[in-house]
Amino acid sequence: MADLKQYDVVVIGAGPAGMTAATYAARAELSVVMLDQGVYGGQMNNTAEVENYPGFDSVMGPDLSEKMYSSTTHAGAEYAFGTVESLEVVSDQEKIVHTDSGDFQAKAVIIATGSEHVHLGVPGEEEYQGRGISYCAVCDGAFFKNEDVAVIGGGDSAVEEGIYLANIAASVTIIVRSNQLKAQPVLQKRARENDKIKFIWNTSVQQINGNEEQVTNVDVINNQTQETGKLPFSGVFIYVGLRPNTEAFQDLGITDDQGWIVTDDHMKTAIPGVFAVGDVRQKNLRQIVTAVGDGGLAGQQAYDFISQI
Ligand SMILES: Cc1cc2nc3c(=O)[nH]c(=O)nc-3n(C[C@H](O)[C@H](O)[C@H](O)COP(=O)(O)OP(=O)(O)OC[C@H]3O[C@@H](n4cnc5c(N)ncnc54)[C@H](O)[C@@H]3O)c2cc1C
């Protein structure tokens, strides 16, 4: 194959998990490339302030991305742009990673493709994406200065990004399907104490409406009383869950019935020399600190695996 590039380790995804795995593998003197379909940093680029990463009282997600990328390349890992379409396991010693911009051969592969936001699946959502509907407050919040916005969801991301939006928007209404938040207590407290944030409980969004150009209001229903209503917003930020980015690996037999990759405590999948780290794994806590923990383990495990073949 003419353009088959060869490395000891190919890391798929350059979020915090992939960058840490690449750092550890490169520091073990392995040749390493990180492949990403976008800019390095992953979900950290969509995060305003990170306040739970050790060593920082508070750090902007994109700034943390830059710092991690700098230490990863300093350790000797390379970065290449490309969407991974499939992984071919030729033998225990040889894997081929197929991308839309060429193929990469590796002895070990570390999958770090993370997850993406689930859509609400209501009428108007696709139509008004980028015209009032967003899944990223840090990317799009500035468009809603002094306007009224809604946040849909009650978990960490919803509450955290609601607090961020309250610095920009005139008001933030957090619409929650149940009668309680699932976010960490510290975030709940901060949101409840913010005068610009209010909550609507036991409520689902049924439809998002607009004037052809942008969002103007949402149709809601109270899940207990079945009472319906129309609430005016120019921005709607949706945080209702995650799904794994594992389309490229579905036929390898390493995912559970929801598509998350199953590993052991050493980040090993069922395939020798194929590891998975970060949010893409079947796990309980999807955070930057758990992603980098996974990454460090997998980088070391890749070294051990290659040393023994
Ligand atoms: C709004 C928001 C706020 C958050 N706030 C915090 C916080 O305050 N503290 C905290 O600890 N965590 C926070 N998180 C969670 C944290 O960002 C994630 O847990 C973490 O980024 C996961 O890292 P990862 O490397 O596993 O995956 P990701 O960061 O998702 O990176 C995966 C990378 O893989 C790439 N990729 C995917 N598929 C392919 C493919 N087929 N080919 C090539 N590349 C591919 C993607 O482009 C991406 O760059 C937040 C998340 C969100 C969305």
Element (H, E) at 41: none
Query: What DSSP letter does each residue of 254-302 carry, written as one string?
Result: -B-TTSPBP--TTSB-SSTTEEE-GGGBS-S--SHHHHHHHHHHHHHHH
Axis crossing angle, helix 16-27 with helix 288-307, rounded to the nearest 10 = 30
Mean confidence (pLDDT) of the chain: 96
Q: What is the pLDDT of residues 195-242, one digit of tens each?
A: 999 999 999 999 999 999 999 999 999 999 999 999 999 999 999 999
Predicted pLDDT at 47: 86
Write out the two tokens for 131: 């015209």
pTM of the model: 0.89
For the chain, what percent of residues have pLDDT higher than 70? 99
Dist. CA 174 → ligand 1 center (Å): 23
Dist. CA 190 → ligand 1 center (Å): 24
CA distance 22 to 12: 10
- Residue from 8, 36, 140, 294 carrying the catalytic annotation: 140
Average pLDDT, 10 consecutive residues per value, the chain (309 residues): 86 98 98 97 90 94 97 98 98 97 97 96 96 91 96 96 97 98 97 98 98 97 98 97 96 97 98 98 94 98 97
Predicted pLDDT at 68: 98
Residue of 19, 45, 47, 100 best suited for mutating to test ligand 1, as the one with most atoms within 8 Å of CB: 47
Dist. CA 297 → ligand 1 center (Å): 18
- Residue from 136, 156, 279, 294 carrying the catalytic annotation: 136
